[in-house]
Amino acid sequence: MSFAIQLRHRAVGSTSRPATPQPDRRPSPTPVRGRPPTWAWLVAAVFMLGWFLVTGVIGSGGGRALTYSAFLSDVDKHEVASVAVGSAGQLVGTLASGKEFTVQAPPWALTTDDLAAKLEAAGVHVSAFSQSNTLGQLAVSLLPVVVFVGFFWWISRSARRSLGSGAGGLGSLFRSKARVTDAERPATRFGDVAGYEGVKQEVREVVDFLQHPARYRLAGAQGPRGLLLVGPPGTGKTLVARAVAGEASVPFFAVTGSSFVEVFVGLGASRVRDLFAEARGNAPAIVFIDEIDAMGARRALPGTGANDEREQTLNQLLAEMDGFTGDGSIVVIAATNRPEALDPALLRPGRFDRQVQVPLPNRADRQRILAVHARGKRMAADVSLSRMARASAGFSGADLANLVNEAALRAARADREELTAADFDEALDRLVLGRRDEGNALLPQERRAVAVHESGHALVAALAPTADPVSRITILPNGMALGATHQLPEDDRRLYAESYLRDSLAIRVAGRAAELLVLGEGSTGAADDLAGATQLAARMVREYGLSPALGPVAYPLPSGTFLDGTATDRPYAEATQRRVDREVARLLREAEERATELLVGHRTALDALAARLLDEETLDGSVVYDVLVHADAALQVPDDRR
């Protein structure tokens, strides 16, 4: 359960308007004429197989079926005129009355002389016949072959139908799965990418090279062979690559790295060769490989779990990008969230000549992205995209698109065409905290505890000199959080001073301090706050060198560059861990003492704010500063923090 939440998220990106559908210019497959339909072949095959089985395996005529005991009884009564013995123990004969019969004799009956003696004594005419049928046996033995050939014939027809013409049968398995964008009418341009001016400036040189290669050749310069776009998920790396192809008006071959990795060894390498051969046939062109880490991860040493198929695919890609072909009209653009996992051979000059960082958007870029997604939507006068850009620090382009869509969904549920500021606030809570459950009502004592808790967070945030201003407080449950205190950063921070971090610790533990002060006991509501405060204090000690006991040393835990996740193995000894634990506990105790001191000095404001929260449930941040001013006339609160 989280009460205080500072809006810093993991995300960024660019936005685009939907691409204009383009006509399919691939050649239509040539219809096959004069052939029976597939169902006719299947019906004929089933009929022939059934005919062979019936005539070959059964092989004999009809007749009344008798049991072996009844047959022996008829023999003793001299009612059997003739009998023919089959090789599989089947007896076929005629009774004295002229009726035919069939009997399946047990295996032991034909191995003794008792049956023969009975038949001879009764005067029965005995003969033999063979149940083997060459055509029937041939049909049964060829059945698996027919099924196998028919299956691959069906695959061949399906592949030929999907590919249009040319490669059918098993050859389609080796074809590249790249999608080609029509070069005559490119849909995406740099204008569709909101913000990211630095990124667009980096990739603009690729566009210029593809449009004017002669100018570079005259100067003796070589254009970039490869461009690697790295950044967190949702930042618009694919959109930037499409914008490059759209600006250059060249064919765009898009494929994912996982589509090259297959079970069969050599299949991925064949697809790489096919992809680059097709790109050279349409040169100049752009080859875009999304999530290249799926095929370009570091190669393992022999005997250490190496994957031969993936490594052969990577080796083929290295060969295609190296200079064996001497063709500089193919530019490879790749995107990944894990640049640290790529093989070093991929990142050397001559393959991926440059890496372009596509980071999370800053405040100005977030406002531009929100404006793009707000096109075509009716906005109320109280909607401020600038304020939402401030409140969505750490959001990616995909997150911002989802934010606007959630606000539109809330307006649609209320049968409104106009989006209000309340819609955006609720959408932000939905994305950060989770879905609000209207039926999740709190008990009266729980509501009071949550109100006291959130008032403690808000007051300490308002009193801390370096903290971000309070924007909103609520005691309405969202997701796992029973309440929330939102702070609105004035701008994106890239450097955090020690004073700011200490204020953040005090704000995180202020909810628990308020409960102890007002209610006399703590609750489980502070669990998430304590977990976040402990993690922040541990990083201050272990990574930022802000502990006098450890000194200016750092023990960062290895993790992904753009993806969450931390290694479990610590890179230091057990004795160092004990010192780290002591320092973390010291920082948290000091933060709690400071928060308690501030709350004791403004107890009147704490009680007044908790009472208003119980009445109104959601308060604007300016109410916090008004309560402080009225409760303590000597307190001066700057206007820009209200």
The conformation of residue 104, written as its DSSP 8-state character, comes to E
The model's pTM is 0.65
Cβ atoms of residues 433 and 481 within 8 Å? yes
pLDDT at 87: 66
| Domain 196-357 fold | Rossmann fold (3.40.50)
- The per-residue pLDDT for range 512-553, each reduced to its tens digit, is 999 999 999 999 989 999 999 999 999 999 999 999 888 888
Q: Which of 454, 515, 583, 592 is catalytic?
A: 454
Domains in the chain: boundaries: 38-52+135-174, 60-132, 196-357, 367-432, 444-641
- The per-residue pLDDT for range 587-642, each reduced to its tens digit, is 999 999 999 999 999 999 999 999 999 998 889 888 999 998 887 654 555 555 55
Q: In the chain, which stretches have pLDDT less than 70?
A: 1-63, 87-88, 111-113, 130-145, 147-149, 151-186, 261-266, 301-308, 323-328, 436-440, 558-569, 632-642
The C-alpha atoms of residue 158 and residue 297 are separated, in whole angstroms, by 34
pLDDT at 457: 95
Q: What is the DSSP string of 82-101?
A: EEEEETTSEEEEEETTS-EE
Q: What is the DSSP string of 120-131?
A: HHTT-EEEEE--
Note the CATH number of domain 444-641: 1.20.58.760
pLDDT at 17: 35
The C-alpha atoms of residue 518 and residue 503 are separated, in whole angstroms, by 22
Residue in 407, 399, 428, 406 with CA at minimum distance from that of residue 487: 428
Separation in Å, CA 272 to CA 80, 176, 293, 354: 78, 7, 15, 22
Q: What is the DSSP string of 384-441?
A: -HHHHHHHTTT--HHHHHHHHHHHHHHHHHTT-SEE-HHHHHHHHHHHHT----TT-P
- The single-letter code of the amino acid at 261 is V
| Domain 60-132 fold | 3.30.720
- The single-letter code of the amino acid at 479 is G
Q: What is the DSSP string of 168-227?
A: -GGGGGGS---EEE-SSS----GGGS-S-HHHHHHHHHHHHHHH-HHHHHHTT----SEE
Residue in 444, 446, 473, 443 with CA at minimum distance from that of residue 458: 473
pLDDT at 157: 63
pLDDT at 113: 65
Q: Which residues contact 22 (CB under 8 A, 6 or more apart)?
A: 181, 182, 185, 187
In CATH, what is the architecture of 367-432?
A: Orthogonal Bundle (1.10)
Residue 543 among the catalytic residues = no
pLDDT at 234: 85
Give the residue ranges of DSSP H helices in 336-396. Answer: 344-347, 363-373, 385-391
- Tell me the sheet residues that pair with 30: none
Cβ atoms of residues 2 and 140 within 8 Å? no
- Tell me the sheet residues that pair with 82: 94, 125
pLDDT at 25: 42
Record the tokens describing residue 334, joined without a space.
């790749």
